[in-house]
């Protein structure tokens, strides 16, 4: 019987990206600060003509406006402070120091303790100051203490206040910059940041007191109008909003977005692995609850498992956003294939379940993965169906994510030690590769395919050493042998007449080290494979000749350049059109992928992995995809075919073995 677990929702899961946030380096931040100060010096060094008279006129206009509103309370407060002794000294130093100190301390604290918020906080601070500097340049305003005949007392200058224009150290400071008040602006900005990061009524009260004192001080010292403080509020709102809108987002790369664009309800684009577990020591197999906890523990290392896509827009690429409410029982379902008589359901039922998963798109309103636990497959055998969307990872990345979950070394380890071409070599190879891609042609005839496809999935295991020995015997690569076996088997079992050749998309690994094994860094090239009636040795010879030109790597570089670089320059709506134009039956007939797997024993908790099979999606309009993993001594092959092309996928795999037997 087939049973599915009930649905429930988990408690909130923190944003997994926070564990991997890299703090910006101190030197870069200091240089940014110096750059901001440099802009201030430019504003001071190159004022617009007539700055001083315009500043006094603007100050007089602001004061007149306040008088008209009967809210010109600055003068009596200023005259009161001038007579207050130690209170005046305190106000002068509060004016000169605290707004700077509070802003710097906050930036250091956020950088050290809350790095996930730092860039947004820093960016809002930068925007606030850039807006203010623009205002200082375009709309200079003399403070009340500088207006002739207004009667204000400059308490800061009279007190020789250190670190202000009251001391010789800062005599050259721009004093025609009353609008807006950055003293209130910086103090209020600190309060806003604290409210967003820490909250709590104590923090809010302390921040509010600081803002209130700063407001009183700028008025009492004769340095600002109350309108300057009101303007600072507007500037902070604009800066905070812009920092949020323009904040760095975890945008889906162009090569990953490609698979979002080509996906249709009939052709879901998720990849994965069918993992066979040995349950001899624990016949009951892994429980869903145990698997769920294993994935929870690994979320910091697999951030995409706690993220979903942003809403689609035709004008910009989507980005990853936190998804705190993970529906664990949907993401980790539980299946039991045991028959009513208590006997195991068998590999056939497992294959049907995989085909069902392949036919169901992953909903975009949640993280794009599933990890199904399947028991009752065969005696002492359970399985796990691990799926992620192609936008999350390519085939090799999917296997590496799986190995990460199993506490096993990643397939991507050691890639940093691989010698890679320099920029000039890449450019030359890319130019050659683009020319080669342009001459690859298109399929002469389309293979039969249903609409929608009726998927059939099956697997086959052959000793890897036997396959390698057979390839050496014929002087070809294992991939050539795979292509030859596929072509020969299709010719024998196809339900409709086939053309003389088929253009096959062959996935080549262009893997690069990347965090969490995320993203697509593979490339695909086209190989024209003969399907005519001929001895299998002759077919293999022709295939080896056709694939020889692919080994230079130029097509891989060119394919990556198109998929990643050129596509990244395309507007989202054009990229969508481009992807759907080139990734379908008009450009190739099917997909074959030969990937490395783990060459060592892997265990999932107490359950040894016997092997793993690839799960690869059908490209739109194509009727077959073949995947091979070289897994711990096993040539582990999987086939997904459309019943319109092959009605028995098991028969196809049997003929594949027969082709290899003829070549032996």
More confident residue, 528 or 163: 528
Assess whether pLDDT exceeds 60 at residue 427.
no
Check if the beta carbon of residue 175 is closer than 8 Å to that of residue 154. Answer: no
Q: Look-up: residue for tokens 């940014």?
A: 32
Which segment of 48-62, 106-120, 564-578 scores lowest on mean pLDDT?
564-578
pLDDT of residue 569: 72
Query: What does the DSSP 8-state code read for residue 590?
Result: E
pLDDT, tens only, 344-365: 999 999 999 999 999 999 999 9
Mean pLDDT is lowest, of 165-174, 186-195, 369-378, for 165-174
CA 651-656-661 angle, 5° bins: 120
State residue 36's pLDDT score.
83
CA distance 613 to 593: 12
Least confident of 140-144, 151-155, 350-354, 431-435: 431-435
H/E element, 378? strand 369-378
Q: Residue 463 and residue 35: Cα distance in Å, rounded? A: 63
Residues 6+ apart with CB under 8 A from 518: 303, 304, 392, 393, 397
Residue closest to 171 by CA, chosen among 180, 162, 179 = 162
Apex 636 CA angle, 611 and 520, nearest 5 = 90
Q: What is the mean pLDDT of residues 375-389?
A: 93
Spatial CB neighbours of 21, under 8 Å, sequence gap ≥ 6: 115, 116
Give pLDDT, residue 308.
92
| Pairing mode, strands 624-631 and 607-615 | unpaired
> Does residue 513 carry a pLDDT above 60?
no
Q: Which residue has the higher pLDDT, 460 or 299?
A: 460
* Cβ count near 401 (within 10 Å): 27
Q: What DSSP state is assigned to residue 635?
A: E
DSSP 8-state symbol, 97:
I
* CA-wise closest residue to 78 among 3, 160, 151: 151
What residues form DSSP beta bridges with 387?
272, 370
Tokens of 297: 């523990």
Q: What is this structure's pTM?
A: 0.65
Give the DSSP H or E segment for 307.
Answer: strand 307-309
Which tens digit of pLDDT belongs to each residue from 92-119?
888 888 888 999 998 998 888 888 788 8
State yes or no: pLDDT of 652 exceeds 80: yes
At CA 272, angle to CA 268 and CA 277, rounded to 5? 140
Q: Are strands 319-322 and 250-251 parallel, antiparallel or unpaired?
A: antiparallel
Cis before 625? omega within 30? no
Query: CA–CA separation, 650 vs 643, rounded Å?
Result: 12
* CA dist., res. 211 & res. 290, Å (int): 52
**Least-confidence region, from 241-245, 383-387, 437-441, 660-664:** 437-441
The CA–CA distances, whole Å, from 9 to 20, 292, 326, 329 equal 25, 12, 6, 7
Instruction: Please determine, looking at this structure, whether the domain spanning 254-663 carries the CATH number 1.10.1750.10.
Output: no
Rounded to whole angstroms, the Cα distance separating 47 from 291 reads 66
Highest mean pLDDT among 15-24, 44-53, 532-541: 532-541
Which two three-digit tokens encode residue 624? 């077959």
Calpha distance 91→154 (Å, rounded): 12
Of the candidates 512, 536, 544, 508, the residue with the CA atom closest to the CA atom of residue 523: 508
Question: What's the confidence (pLDDT) of residue 623?
Answer: 95
* Token pair in block for residue 526: 């086209």
pLDDT given at position 16: 36
What contacts 613, CB < 8 A, 6 or more positions away? 273, 274, 276, 459, 627, 629, 636, 637, 638
Tracing tokens 């030197």 back to the chain, one arrives at 27
Measured CA to CA, the distance from residue 337 to residue 348 in angstroms comes to 10
Q: Once rounded to an integer, what is the mean pLDDT over residues 121-147?
A: 91
The predicted pLDDT at position 175 comes to 82
Name the DSSP class of 95.
Answer: I
- Mean pLDDT for all residues in the chain: 83
| C-beta of residue 626 within 8 angstroms of C-beta of residue 637 | yes
Measured CA to CA, the distance from residue 521 to residue 397 in angstroms comes to 9
Of 36-50, 144-158, 162-176, 406-420, where does mean pLDDT reach its minimum? 406-420
Residue 211 banded pLDDT, cuts 50, 70, 90: very high
Q: Is the pLDDT of residue 514 over 50?
A: no
Q: For the chain, what's the residue count?
A: 664
d(CA 550, CA 568): 25
Q: Which residues 6+ apart lie within 8 Å of 418 measured at CB?
A: none
Q: What is the pLDDT of residue 415?
A: 42
- Confidence at residue 37, expressed as pLDDT on a 0 to 100 scale: 81
Pull the structure tokens for residue 389: 């969307």
Residues near 447 by beta carbon (within 8 Å), at least 6 away in sequence: 498, 499, 502, 585, 589, 590, 622, 623, 624, 645
Distance CA 614, CA 639 (A): 9
Confidence category of residue 556, pLDDT binned at 50, 70, 90: low
What three-state secondary structure class fits 494?
A: coil
Residue 277 has pLDDT above 80, yes or no: yes
Instruction: Give residue 79's pLDDT band: very low, low, confident or very high (50, 70, 90).
Output: very high
Q: How far apart are CA 468 and CA 19, in angstroms?
A: 43
Structure tokens at 558: 């060119």
Three-state DSSP state, 372: strand
Cα–Cα–Cα angle for 227, 229, 234, nearest 5°?
95
Q: How confident is the model at residue 21 (pLDDT cuts 50, 70, 90)?
A: very low
* Average pLDDT over every residue of 182-211: 84
Residue 461, H or E segment: strand 455-463
Domains of the chain, by residue range, sit at: 18-245, 254-663
Collect all residues with Cβ–Cβ distance below 8 Å to 461 and sequence separation of at least 6: 611, 634, 635, 636, 637
């Amino acid at each position: 019987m087939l049973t599915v677990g009930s649905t429930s929702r988990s408690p909130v899961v923190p944003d997994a990206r926070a564990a991997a946030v890299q703090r910006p380096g101190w030197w870069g931040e200091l240089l940014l600060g110096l750059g901001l100060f440099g802009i201030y010096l430019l504003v001071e060094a190159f004022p617009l003509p007539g700055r001083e008279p315009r500043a006094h006129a603007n100050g007089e206009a602001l004061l007149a406006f306040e008088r008209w509103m009967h809210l010109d309370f600055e003068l009596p407060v200023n005259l009161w402070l001038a007579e207050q002794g130690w209170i005046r000294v305190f106000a002068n130093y509060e004016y000169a120091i605290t707004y700077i100190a509070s802003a710097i301390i906050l930036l250091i604290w956020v950088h050290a303790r809350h790095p996930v918020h730092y860039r947004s906080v820093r960016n809002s601070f930068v925007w606030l100051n850039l807006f203010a500097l623009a205002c200082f340049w375009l709309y200079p305003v003399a403070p009340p203490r500088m207006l002739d005949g207004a009667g204000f007392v400059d308490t800061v200058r009279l007190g020789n206040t250190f670190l202000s224009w009251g001391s010789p150290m800062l005599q050259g400071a721009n004093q025609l910059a009353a609008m807006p008040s950055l003293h209130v602006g910086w103090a209020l900005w600190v309060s806003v940041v604290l409210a967003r990061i820490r909250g709590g009524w104590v923090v809010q009260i302390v921040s509010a007191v600081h803002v209130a004192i700063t407001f009183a001080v700028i008025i009492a010292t004769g340095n600002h109008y109350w309108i300057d403080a009101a303007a600072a509020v507007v500037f902070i709102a604009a800066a905070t909003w812009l920092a949020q809108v323009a904040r760095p987002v975890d945008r889906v790369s162009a090569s990953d977005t490609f698979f979002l664009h080509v996906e249709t309800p009939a052709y879901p684009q998720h990849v994965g692995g069918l993992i066979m577990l040995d349950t001899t020591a624990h016949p009951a197999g892994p429980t869903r609850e145990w698997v769920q906890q294993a994935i929870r523990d690994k979320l910091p290392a697999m951030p995409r498992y706690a993220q979903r896509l942003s809403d689609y827009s035709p004008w910009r690429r989507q980005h990853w956003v936190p998804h705190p409410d993970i529906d664990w029982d949907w993401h980790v379902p539980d299946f039991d294939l045991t028959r009513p008589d208590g006997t195991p359901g068998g590999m056939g039922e497992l294959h049907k379940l995989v085909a069902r998963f392949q036919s169901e798109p992953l909903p975009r309103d949640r993280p794009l993965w599933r990890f199904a636990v399947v028991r009752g497959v065969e005696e002492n055998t359970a399985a796990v169906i691990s799926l992620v969307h192609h936008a999350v990872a390519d085939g090799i990345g999917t296997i590496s994510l799986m190995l990460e979950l199993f506490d096993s070394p990643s397939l991507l380890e050691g890639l940093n030690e691989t010698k890679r071409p320099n920029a000039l070599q890449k450019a030359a190879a890319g130019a050659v590769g683009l020319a080669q891609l342009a001459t690859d042609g298109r399929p002469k005839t389309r293979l039969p395919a249903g609409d929608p496809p009726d998927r059939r999935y099956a697997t086959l295991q052959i000793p890897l050493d036997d396959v390698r020995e057979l390839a050496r015997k014929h002087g070809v690569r294992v991939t050539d042998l795979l292509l030859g076996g596929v072509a020969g088997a299709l010719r024998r079992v196809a339900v409709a007449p086939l053309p003389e050749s088929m253009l096959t998309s062959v996935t080549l690994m262009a893997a690069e080290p990347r965090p969490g094994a995320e993203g697509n860094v593979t490339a695909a090239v086209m190989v024209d494979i003969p399907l005519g009636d001929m001895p299998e040795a002759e077919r293999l010879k022709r295939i080896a000749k056709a694939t020889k030109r692919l080994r230079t790597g130029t097509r891989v570089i060119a394919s990556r350049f198109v998929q990643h670089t050129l596509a990244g320059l395309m507007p989202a709506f054009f990229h969508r059109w481009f992807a759907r134009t080139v990734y379908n039956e008009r450009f190739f007939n099917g997909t074959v992928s030969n990937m490395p797997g783990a060459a060592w024993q892997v265990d999932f908790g107490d359950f040894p992995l016997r092997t793993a099979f690839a799960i690869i999606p059908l490209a739109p309009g194509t009727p077959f995809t073949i995947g091979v993993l070289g897994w711990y001594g096993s040539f582990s092959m999987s086939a997904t075919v459309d019943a319109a092309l092959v009605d028995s996928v098991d028969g196809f795999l049997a003929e594949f073995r027969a082709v290899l037997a003829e070549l032996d």
